Structure 1
Amino acid sequence: MKKYNIHILLSALFLSTTLSGCKKFLEHQPDNRTTLNTPEKVAELLVAAYPRASYITFIEAMSDNVEDKGTTEINLVNSRPWNYEDQLDIIEDTPNFYWNACYTAIAAANHALETIEKASNPAAYSASKGEALVARAYSHFMLVSLFSKTYNKATAESDPGIPYVTTPERTPEGTYERKTVAYVYDMIEKDLLAGLPLIKDNTYRIPKFHFTKVAANAFATRFYLFKKDYPNVVKFANDAFPTSGISTYLRPANTTYFAFGNNFYDIQALYTKSEDPGNLLLAEANSKWGDRYPGYRYGLGNTLNGQVLGSLNPVGAELYRVVFGAQPEFYNVPKFRAYEIKESISAVTGKPFMVIPLLSTEEVLFNRAEANVMLGQFPAAIADLNVYLSKRIASYNPIQHNFTLAKATTFYAGKSATDALIESILDYKRQEYIHEGLRWFDILRHNRPVTHTSFKGDKRVTYAANDPRRVLQIPRETGSVGLAPNPR
């Protein structure tokens, strides 16, 4: 196996963004390395252990959840991923920006863990240690999922991974090894399993912006689904909701949301609020997506609105979804409220931000259902889908709208029972997470090709499952110091 040794310029990629990422903390504690001496200060630092950037803009544009709407305005953060072109800029909503944000979050977690390790009373820091470990695992998982090949047991020992950083830096330049996807997955699993039991929900002021027990278990279901470790997907999904079951934690789409009618702002506001039971982990992201996604040229248009959101499914009933936009060029499902954060009182404008759901109950349900299908536990998977539909179909009738294997195989004619159930899950999930980017992860896991067609229909490009451009290019700054770029 060839090793990829790198000397990452941390001042450019990690430390400079760490200082800005921890800005609120540092305004009160200028030298966090010497003043992180209490459990409270470590807990405060961990607010910065979550990436303050969004992946949605570029992976949604790469997926089959977007179409060419034919508008004249071209925005490079939208058009380049649609065309599978590498993005070189380090601005909001680009892969490079997200890369930096993840390593900024990792740096914060590592500083916290170092403090805990050196503390004379480590037991007092136990909950923060758990959060730091799981947060570190999450950021590395997102990086390896986007900037390396998707986990494949047959090739993971040789596929280049991403640097797994476990120590804070003391110099402006550090030495790292890219190693392999298998190594990165082993490290993620180690951090995840070590951190999860230590998490204590009652230590958080606003729990849904931190890794609670349920959020950590939800992340575990995603991780093990990528790894195709289906028994563990089921285990951690069950651990996420051990007592009352999953139903009460789903978004109340056909009740609360339905009652909003066509009130755009009420629907938009609730989707990323802590009060929505479906939100398990929320994060603030420096992103323009919340304000601009309805107007991007490559997005939800007339064709996909009918094919994805307006189409029937095995039970013959549309799922609740309100699509806004006076014209197809601006179709959108309200999910994100954009706002600005000004860096000073006198500032005229600020940086664009939004809150995004990093993990939600619906994903846990779909992950468990898919795992159960792969384990041959069809009744369990079907039961989960019926729970989901009970929250999504207006005027739901458990007899009329009962999802069955027979309905699935009839709807997906010619497919096996397993494939029909998987297609059902993926299609429901595709509708659920429109505008959120998660469709891309299913495309990667299932090796699905993506076809993008121009508005006039004169250009049609299919990006095959083995197209190297599906693996995002690492920042070019790392190439100047020895990090091998991904193949093109």
Structure 2
Amino acid sequence: MVKKNIYKACIAICGAMLTTACGDSFLDHTPDERIELNAATLTDVQCINMINASYPGANYGWIGELSSDNIIDNNAPHMPTSTNSEQKETHLNLNSMDRFDDELFEFKPCVSAKYQDTPYYIWEDEYSSIAMTNVIINLINEHEQLVGKDNLSPIKKAVRGEAKILRAYCHFILVNIFSQAYKDDNASKNDIGIPYVTEVETTVRVEYDRSNVADVYAKIAKDLEEGMAELNDTHMEKPKWHFNIAAANAFAARFYLSYHKYDKVIEHADNVLGKGPVNVSNKLMSYEPFSDYVYAKDFATYFQSPDNKNNLMLITSLSYNFYHAIGYRYAMNGEAARAVFFHPTPTSGNLIIHPAAVASYQYASYSSEDADYGYYSFKIYYVFEYSDKISGTGQAHQVRREFTNTLLLLERAEAKILTGDYDGAVSDMADYEASRLTIGNTLKKAYDIKDIPLTKEMILDWYNPATHGINNPAITLRQKHENTLDNSTDGWGNAKHMGINIPDAAVPYMNCLNDMRRYETMWDGLRFFDLKRWGIKYAHIIGPQSKKIELDWDDARRAVEAPLEARTAGMESSRTKLSTESPISGKARVSLPESSIFMMK
């Protein structure tokens, strides 16, 4: 089943029902509350209202974190996070927040839950958004045929462009979760994809084909390019909640980075950040305002605000991501937290935690000073909407910072590394590090932080696996940096299987980038995408007996399994390996919903 409820019932297009002269009776009204849309009379306002309602509300952050190396099992023996603490293994005896956490951490299919933060919820919600975009695109196409191409209003054209970009984005999220990472066109033809849905469903049961990853990426590129050709954001009342022009370019850069088209990454990033030696500081995240905040809500508001110059696009989601991380079995703790943010960096001297994490409370802890249950971040703080205050029930709303200038800068830096422009990459990473050190004078004095710029020489020394590698037995724990990998199969060596060439000269730069991305994307779920596309080997250690599950670059479990309901309906497993000699299967039948807001007329 791709989507049970095809269209989101969350907007009202028309202000009144059609009536007749028969009096106030049942026959005076349409038989349900769906809205009839007619291509001949389609208005700009209807198009705007539809696209406003089309954005997904699911959050893949927890799935991504739990499936990556950013989370550990607190019940498994682990070292303390701080290198100042006695390096003695400990383990706890905690329950998981939900059974599906156990399933996903062990890389098993999730069969126990279907609500927020589960694969089922992501699958359903993204395909719901896709269905809405298909309605919009179809209606505007029909309207264009009736009025003529030259008479199509600029707003309708812009909304169609936005809808195509949103459709591309939703498929991009789905393929990165439920399939293997893109390698190249030949190798990725052997990896099962996800259904790329472009037609409006008008029959009771529809067959969908999962195709392959190469085909899905080609279709994403087509939608993205066609959408950007028509996109205009002048009609957007609140552009930060839409694919405005800057956000669309940021998405294009992220997509082409995964697609290994690095010149396009740089081109789209330049469209937002500027080209050449320009000052990007006025566009990046500033940590200075955090000095004035006390409460979690204040920190979250600044992180998630559309007025924050760093934020390019925000998405409101229903998610309990924040709750999963607090006081339960699976947490950002121990060696994982050490790798994410609790380690020295070239510009922070001997500090054991990056000052930006201190300033922004990205190292908040639930239990004690030593955070023995793990850490969480105020950037994923939520607003709780009560449906019943007496019983304490309701829904948690979290704003996702889906595209930011700081992450776009790092994506451009990676593209420069992979095209051999090391100096250009250093410039971008130095700008990024400068933004992290805008922590205010109080903290700078307290931690004796000097405004020392990140340099090429620092990177070549600090991120050299021969001197600071995590597997180097000749150095102290404090001198090791968890994100400093070598070019072996335990490090960057598997990238070649993923279609990425990382010569030895590029390794220190990739290590620096890896370190920065791991911090910047924590709790967003994007670390999971990075591990997949880079082919980095990683493991989950489970329970007091330290059961080890290790995923190599080609492990089928790197793809989250498709929901049970989809597979029961006939959809093939996400962990199926295709053959180029045999036809691709993976078809499933789905039913139209019992009711939907839109009826095609």
Do the two structures share a fold, i.e. TM-score over 0.5?
A: yes
How many matched pairs? 473
Counting only pairs closer than 5 Å after superposition, residues 108-187 of structure 1 correspond to structure 2 as 108-119=132-143, 120=147, 121-124=151-154, 125-153=156-184, 154-187=186-219
Q: Cα gap change, 1:455/1:402 in structure 2, threshold over 3 Å: closer, same or farther?
A: farther
Is residue 253–residue 408 contact of structure 2 (8 Å, CA) maintained in 1? yes
For 1:385, give the aligned amino acid: M
Q: Distance in 2 between matches of 1:127 and 1:106?
A: 17
Is residue 22–residue 45 contact of structure 1 (8 Å, CA) maintained in 2? no
Q: 2:364 aligns with which of 276, 300, 324?
A: 324
Is residue 42–residue 128 contact of structure 1 (8 Å, CA) maintained in 2? yes
Q: Distance in 1 between matches of 2:292 and 2:510?
A: 32
For 2:105, give the aligned amino acid: W
Match status 1:359 vs 2:403: yes
Q: Cα gap change, 1:403/1:194 in structure 2, threshold over 3 Å: closer, same or farther?
A: same
Match status 1:467 vs 2:497: no
Q: 1:407 aligns with which of 458, 468, 475?
A: 458
Is residue 137–residue 192 contact of structure 1 (8 Å, CA) maintained in 2? yes
Q: Distance in 1 between matches of 2:170 and 2:344?
A: 36
Deviates more, 1:370-379 or 1:412-421: 412-421
Q: Cα gap change, 1:162/1:385 in structure 2, threshold over 3 Å: closer, same or farther?
A: same
Aligned to 2:505: 417
Is residue 160–residue 179 contact of structure 1 (8 Å, CA) maintained in 2? yes
Q: 2:427 aligns with which of 369, 383, 405?
A: 383
- Per residue, is there more helix in 1 or in 2? 1
**SS at 2:546 equivalent:** coil
Deviation string 1:223-279 (CA, Å, 9 cap, x unpaired) is 1111111111111100123487533221112x112x135543311221111122222
Match status 1:95 vs 2:126: no
Deviates more, 1:413-422 or 1:344-353: 344-353
For 1:405, give the aligned amino acid: K
**SS at 2:315 equivalent:** strand
Is residue 260–residue 266 contact of structure 1 (8 Å, CA) maintained in 2? no
**SS at 1:139 equivalent:** helix
Aligned to 2:129: 105
Counting only pairs closer than 5 Å after superposition, residues 443-482 of structure 1 correspond to structure 2 as 443-454=531-542, 456=544, 458-482=546-570
Counting only pairs closer than 5 Å after superposition, residues 27-42 of structure 1 correspond to structure 2 as 30-34=33-37, 37-42=42-47
Match status 1:350 vs 2:353: no
Deviates more, 1:322-331 or 1:227-236: 322-331
Q: 1:248 aligns with which of 271, 282, 301?
A: 282
Q: Cα gap change, 1:313/1:337 in structure 2, threshold over 3 Å: closer, same or farther?
A: closer
Q: 1:48 aligns with which of 42, 53, 64?
A: 53
For 1:42, give the aligned amino acid: C
Q: Distance in 1 between matches of 2:129 and 2:431?
A: 35
For 1:18, give the aligned amino acid: I
For 2:110, give the aligned amino acid: Q
Aligned to 1:4: none
TM-score (norm 1): 0.90
TM-superposed CA distance for 1:284, in Å, is 1.3
Q: Could you list the runs of 5+ residues in structure 2 that have no partner in the other structure?
A: 17-32, 75-91, 467-485, 487-503, 577-601
Deviation string 1:153-199 (CA, Å, 9 cap, x unpaired) is 13122322111111111123212222221111111111101111322
Deviates more, 1:345-354 or 1:463-472: 345-354
Is residue 285–residue 355 contact of structure 1 (8 Å, CA) maintained in 2? yes
Q: Cα gap change, 1:295/1:45 in structure 2, threshold over 3 Å: closer, same or farther?
A: farther
For 2:394, give the aligned amino acid: G
Q: Distance in 2 between matches of 1:483 and 1:443?
A: 26
Q: Distance in 1 between matches of 2:53 and 2:142?
A: 20
For 2:282, give the aligned amino acid: T
For 1:351, give the aligned amino acid: Q
Aligned to 2:592: none
TM-superposed CA distance for 1:61, in Å, is 0.7
TM-score (norm 2): 0.74
Is residue 174–residue 194 contact of structure 2 (8 Å, CA) maintained in 1? yes
Deviation string 1:322-352 (CA, Å, 9 cap, x unpaired) is 3222421152221123234567999974333
Is residue 179–residue 193 contact of structure 2 (8 Å, CA) maintained in 1? yes
Deviates more, 1:304-313 or 1:392-401: 392-401
Q: Distance in 1 between matches of 2:227 and 2:385?
A: 32
Q: Cα gap change, 1:97/1:28 in structure 2, threshold over 3 Å: closer, same or farther?
A: farther
Q: Could you list the runs of 5+ residues in structure 1 that have no partner in the other structure?
A: 1-8
For 1:134, give the aligned amino acid: I
Is residue 45–residue 112 contact of structure 1 (8 Å, CA) maintained in 2? yes
Deviates more, 1:338-347 or 1:427-436: 338-347
For 1:73, give the aligned amino acid: N
Aligned to 2:529: 441
Deviation string 1:339-390 (CA, Å, 9 cap, x unpaired) is 3456799997433322111211122111100010111111111111111111
Match status 1:63 vs 2:68: yes
Is residue 262–residue 416 contact of structure 2 (8 Å, CA) maintained in 1? yes
Q: Which has the higher Rg, Structure 1 or Structure 2? A: 2
Match status 1:309 vs 2:341: yes
**SS at 1:356 equivalent:** strand
Q: Cα gap change, 1:284/1:399 in structure 2, threshold over 3 Å: closer, same or farther?
A: closer
Counting only pairs closer than 5 Å after superposition, residues 177-326 of structure 1 correspond to structure 2 as 177-242=209-274, 246-253=280-287, 255-257=288-290, 259-260=291-292, 262-317=294-349, 318-321=354-357, 322=361, 323-325=363-365, 326=367
Q: Distance in 2 between matches of 1:349 and 1:409?
A: 53
Is residue 87–residue 94 contact of structure 1 (8 Å, CA) maintained in 2? yes
**SS at 1:359 equivalent:** strand
Match status 1:337 vs 2:381: yes
**SS at 1:203 equivalent:** coil
Deviates more, 1:338-347 or 1:290-299: 338-347
Q: Distance in 2 between matches of 1:79 and 1:311?
A: 28
Identity of aligned residues (%): 25
Larger RCO, structure (CA 8 Å, separation 6 or more): 2
Q: Cα gap change, 1:314/1:418 in structure 2, threshold over 3 Å: closer, same or farther?
A: farther
Aligned to 1:23: 10
**SS at 2:560 equivalent:** coil
Aligned to 1:6: none
